[in-house]
Structure 1
């Protein structure tokens, strides 16, 4: 819970969000605590699930994955079984970066990264519309990433 975090815990989380590779001694210095205390607190934050993962943020353009699409998906049925089947299938697609169950005109929004439009067309024809229960999709191609993966405001 956020209530069990004090000012130092929040500072450590902000610093880790900015750069998860920061060495413990540098992290401790920036948080104005001893390295031993810093290590203990970071381990507690990890064990408590406050930090889900620490990983590198890659540059998609340099990896030939510059095209980003957001796909709105409507399922043919709104049942727990159809939602579960769709979610399992979406989790098995490497091109799917994020998948959100949403309220409104769509059942899901799926964030997909591919090489180019031709790559997306192949993926759409072969995999997306074949996902369990998909009745309709509407694709939005991202022209510019204005804010992407912003750190949480804690």
Structure 2
């Protein structure tokens, strides 16, 4: 009988997600042992969690400095219009930017907050000149260079 994961996650499901969030490289056998369930049950539940959308992906975290992308920049963007069309045009335009890590539509002083990784300030200046100010509908951009990363990509607390 197939379990339904449309319901609230139970203790075992949450335990599986917590362990995978902490270490996505765990084998099924290691994960089963850590969560005190059989490997077959663990595999079945992990598959069900993935299919239900609770587990979207498991990936390694690359040290940005080791690949010469040590400069983190946060950018606040204000569009000249707040219409569904202007939002859609902006979102489509930023989708292909390889330097863009995150893009969030937000409430408050900005329409969007962007998280960008580049080599250095010169690289960001080039990106700013060639791409950011040319994005459709952009009225204003405010740039914040991150001086120190205190906490990044912390595990979800659930």
**TM superposition score normalised by structure 1:** 0.97
Equivalenced residue count is 154
1:76 matched residue in structure 2: 80
Q: Structure 1, residues 1-39: CA drift from partner, whole Å, max 9, x if none?
A: 785211000000000001111000010000000000000
2:31 matched residue in structure 1: 27
Over 3 Å off, 4+ runs: none
Q: Is the 8 A contact 2:6 2:52 kept in 1?
A: no
Aligned partner of 1:141 among 139, 145, 154: 145
Name the Cα RMSD after superposition.
1.1
- Once the two structures are TM-superposed, the CA of residue 54 in structure 1 deviates from its matched residue by 1.1
Q: Structure 1, residues 31-72: CA drift from partner, whole Å, max 9, x if none?
A: 000000000000000000001111111000000000000000
Q: Does residue 108 of structure 2 align to residue 104 of structure 1?
A: yes
Structure 2 unaligned runs (5+)?
A: none
